[in-house]
Amino acid sequence: MPYIEKDIEKKYFNIGEVAKLLNVNPSLIRFWEEKFDLINPKKNKKGKRKYTNKDIDIIKNIYSLVKKKGFTLNGANEKINREAKSKPDQKHEILNSLNKIKKSMKNLRDTI
């Protein structure tokens, strides 16, 4: 069987990589980190920030609201918090979907 190389997906990004992705200075990301509770990167022993894809998505959302749509920091913070509260629990939705599939499979099995 031939060797198949797996694509390695990066799990953590440093602040420079995130800043380059958004074309902003790292200091702006640090500033937003102070203003928005949802930005909470992991830090290593030396204090270097490690951002996950979820952190990056939140920062992209903040960038869009503040830089593109003209929200104030307070306005963007309120909108993000409101959206976070209004989203239903995804785990609950997934479990409901899986239970429906399970029920359908049982019905199918019983008819065979």
- Tens digits of residue pLDDT in 82-97: 887 766 666 667 777 8
- CA-CA distance, 43 to 16, in Å (whole number)? 14
Q: Is the pLDDT reported for residue 2 higher than 80?
A: no
Question: Which pLDDT tens digit goes with each residue over 33-46?
Answer: 999 988 889 988 99
What's the average model confidence in pLDDT over 64-84? 90
What's the average model confidence in pLDDT over 8-20? 90
pTM above 0.85, yes or no: no
| pLDDT of 89 | 62
Domains parsed from the chain with CATH numbers: 15-87 (1.10.1660.10)
Contacts of 9 (CB under 8 A, 6+ apart): none
In the predicted model, what is the mean pLDDT of the chain?
A: 86
Bridge-partner residues for 49, per DSSP?
Answer: 43
